[in-house]
Amino acid sequence: MPTSTRKIAFLGTGKLNQALLRGLSLRPPAYKLAASVRSPESRARLEAAFEGLSVTLDNQELVQGASYVILGVKPHAALEVVQALKDSLPQGTTLVSLCARLPLARLREILSTRPDVKLVRLMPNTACEVGAGLLGVSCENESSPEPELLEIFSRLGQVRVIPERDMDVFTILGACTPAFFLKMAESLGRAARGNGLDEDFSRQALGQVLIGAGQLLQSSKLSAQDRITQIATPGGVTAEGLARLDELQLEAASVQAFESALAKCQSLKL
């Protein structure tokens, strides 16, 4: 990772912040990257996994000199962490919160004496790890994110600037539905294996199928249903499988999965 005097600090290095670090390792920005952990064992693991990453056990030390602080702890821990850091954050830094459900207004209450600290909410997904993520970004008072920050995020995938009120729905769309599609891929892979194909071959092939289907969705204004109609000849093989999915009510199941996930997200208490 290249170094520079500018620094991005990853506070909390769980699944998501590590996905962001991996993604940035593929196309490193000209920043010094630093991270905090809570045990010497985690520090050793992280240093081994990310060459050149500066790792500390001390959050106060981590944020020193940081232009951006990426807050990647669980939402219930975030308020306490920010409270402890409020006087240590560098002048003019930007605090980027990954915390689902945590409104920027709650962070601003804690940082009411630090109007110089800019607040941003980011909802990425784990595909940021391979530079193919989807990242929703909201700023306080629906202001525009700094171009420099958007450039960093764009190294991780496609960025959408959205109003903060849409964050919950975006969380399900961007961060949860990859698991829904992968669940289907798991089942289809099992069926392929049951009919004689090799496990690794099936996994790789289904990965390419998902990439291709995604690119078809993004390459024109044709809807998913339009693309299905192109693929499925009436009375043909694909149509037979789709009819079975209709009988088994895949559509209702998918809508209910989305709605249930959204209701769960909206019920989370901080």
Ligand X SMILES: NC(=O)c1ccc[n+]([C@@H]2O[C@H](COP(=O)([O-])OP(=O)(O)OC[C@H]3O[C@@H](n4cnc5c(N)ncnc54)[C@H](OP(=O)(O)O)[C@@H]3O)[C@@H](O)[C@H]2O)c1
Q: Given the rule CB under 6 A, which residues bind ligand X?
A: 11-17, 36, 38-39, 42, 59, 72-75, 77, 81, 98-100, 123, 125-126, 175
* Minimum distance, C-beta of residue 51 to ligand X, in the bound complex (Å): 20
Give whichever of 80 and 246 is closer to ligand X, judged by the CB atom: 80
Give whichever of 13 and 202 is closer to ligand X, judged by the CB atom: 13
Of the candidates 51, 36, 137, the one whose C-alpha atom is nearest the C-alpha of residue 94 is 137
Q: How many DSSP H helices and E strands does the chain contain? A: 12, 8
The residue type of 147 is: P
* Minimum distance, C-beta of residue 225 to ligand X, in the bound complex (Å): 28
Give whichever of 102 and 206 is closer to ligand X, judged by the CB atom: 102
* Minimum distance, C-beta of residue 167 to ligand X, in the bound complex (Å): 10
* Minimum distance, C-beta of residue 58 to ligand X, in the bound complex (Å): 9
Of the candidates 187, 132, 95, the one whose C-alpha atom is nearest the C-alpha of residue 19 is 132
Q: Which residue is nearest to ligand X (CB)?
A: 14
Render the burial of 25-43: b for 16+ CB within 10 Å, e for the rest. Answer: beeebebbbbbbbeeeebb
Give whichever of 100 and 239 is closer to ligand X, judged by the CB atom: 100
Q: CB 11: neighbour CB atoms within 10 A?
A: 26
Give whichever of 54 and 126 is closer to ligand X, judged by the CB atom: 126
Give whichever of 169 and 216 is closer to ligand X, judged by the CB atom: 169
Contact criterion met (CB below 8 Å) for 37 and 96: no
* Minimum distance, C-beta of residue 19 to ligand X, in the bound complex (Å): 7
Longest dimension (CA), the chain: 68
Which distant-in-sequence residues (6+ apart) come within 8 Å of 103 by Cβ? 164
Of the candidates 176, 189, 145, 182, the one whose C-alpha atom is nearest the C-alpha of residue 261 is 176
Which distant-in-sequence residues (6+ apart) come within 8 Å of 10 by Cβ? 17, 20, 21, 33, 34, 35, 36, 70, 72
For residue 102, give the DSSP letter. Answer: -
Of the candidates 151, 88, 85, 142, the one whose C-alpha atom is nearest the C-alpha of residue 119 is 142
Give whichever of 164 and 202 is closer to ligand X, judged by the CB atom: 164
* Minimum distance, C-beta of residue 75 to ligand X, in the bound complex (Å): 5
* Minimum distance, C-beta of residue 268 to ligand X, in the bound complex (Å): 9
* Minimum distance, C-beta of residue 61 to ligand X, in the bound complex (Å): 12
Give whichever of 159 and 202 is closer to ligand X, judged by the CB atom: 159
